[in-house]
Each structure stands twice: as C-alpha cells, then as structure tokens.
Amino acid sequence: YIGLENYITALSDPAFKVAVLNSLKWVFIIVPSQLLVGLCLALLLNRKFKGCGFVRSLCMVPWVTSGVVIALMWSWIYNANFGVLNDVLKRMGLITKNVAWLADASTALNSEIIVMVWQGIPFFTVMLLASMQSIPVELYEAADVAGANNWQKFRYITLPFLVPTITITSLLRFIWVANNVDIIYQMTQGGPGYSSLTLSVYAYMEAQKSMDFGYASALAVYG
C-alpha cells in the first residue's frame, strides 16, 4: 500500500503539468469549435434544396469513420514530404517550403485539434438539425406576420428550442473529447517531446507501455 504516492508523483512530474495544460486547450478549443460549425451546418441543412438528403448523409462520413483511419488519413495529409496540405498551401503562395506539421512542437497539437474538430462536427450537426426540425412551423409563420427578420427568428425561436440539445450534446462531447486517445496516439504519441500529450494519452501510455497501472490510475483520476 503506497497511499497517495502516485498522486504526489503526478504533481511533481513535468510531463503531467504539460499534459494538464494541453488537455485544457484540447477540450476548450475543440468542443466550442465543433458546436459553432455544427450549428452553422445544421442551419444550412435545415433548408430544402435539391440533393439535401445526400448532403446530409455525406456530412456523417467523419463521424462514422474509425478514429484510427482518420488519424492515418490526416497523417498523410500533414506529411512533410508528400502531404497534400503542403502542396496546396505552396500552390496558393501561403508557404514557401514544406512544413513538418506533426514533427514540430509548435504545430503538432494544433494540427491534431483541427482533425478532432473535423471528426466531431457531424455529431452536433445531426443533433441540432433534428432539434430544429421539431420546432413548430407555426412559430416562424407568426414571426413572419409580425415582421421579424432572420436574426430575430433565430434569436427568439430557434435558439431557445436548441438550448437543451446544445447543453446535452456539449456535455457529452466534453467527456468524449477529454477521454479521446486514438487521434493523438496514432498521429504523434504525445510528441514531439510532450508538446501534444494530454492526460488521457499519458494515462494510456503509462498503463500499456510502462505497465505502471497505479500511476496511470492516478492520472486518469486527474483527467
């Protein structure tokens, strides 16, 4: 029995301190970004247009794709030598030489945040779209009669109906994103150095690679 030794060790571990800061950045950038983009897409897809069913189905592709496959695909996109991102940016004149997105400590975590935002947008889109379609049409018709503009209809009709859905989906995504391991682990394993290490990835690596299950459990509790 070692009491609180694992927790004390974690607090004095430099990797733990970096992982905490990275975890906060990871969660509080990804979830609001997913929510904002998902809301905008839901508003667009709530309109009737030709092929809307196909477009709605297409939007689900990132969500239903395996995290390992997503990590592998984006690793190729970010590849410093033959990645399509560097090629596109050079053709646009935004960069003059290839960037090692995942091998540079200043860009690794931000690159993975983009991947995670892309992967989780469909969840918010589908949930918010379903909530929008349950709003009675009569409310919008009454607003039109009263001379309300689009912003007023969104502010006073759509948004209040969406608040419960936004609250529940955001809480779920905060939990899921905080516990996510596969994207970071498959792309950088927390590197280079500790630059993209989060608490969930650190706990996984300590348990599965170092076989230090006690310390991993302490990290998981902090996470």
Neighbour-count burial for 148-186, b at 16+ CB within 10 Å, e otherwise: beeeebeeebbeeebeebbeebeeebeeebbebbbbbbb
**CB atoms closer than 10 angstroms to residue 40:** 14
| Contact status, residue 4 vs residue 216, Cβ threshold 8 Å | no
Residue 170 confidence (pLDDT):
96
Kindly give the confidence (pLDDT) of every residue in the chain, 223 residues in length, as a single tens digit, with 9 standing for 90 and above. Answer: 666 776 677 777 788 889 999 999 999 999 999 999 999 999 999 888 888 888 888 888 898 888 899 999 999 999 999 899 999 999 999 988 999 999 999 999 999 999 999 999 999 999 999 999 999 999 999 999 999 999 999 999 999 999 999 999 999 999 999 989 899 999 999 889 889 999 888 888 877 766 655 555 555 555 5
**Separation between Cα atoms, residue 165 and residue 29, nearest integer Å:** 20
Residue 193 confidence (pLDDT):
87
Residue 2 confidence (pLDDT):
63
pLDDT in tens, 55-81: 888 888 898 888 899 999 999 999 999
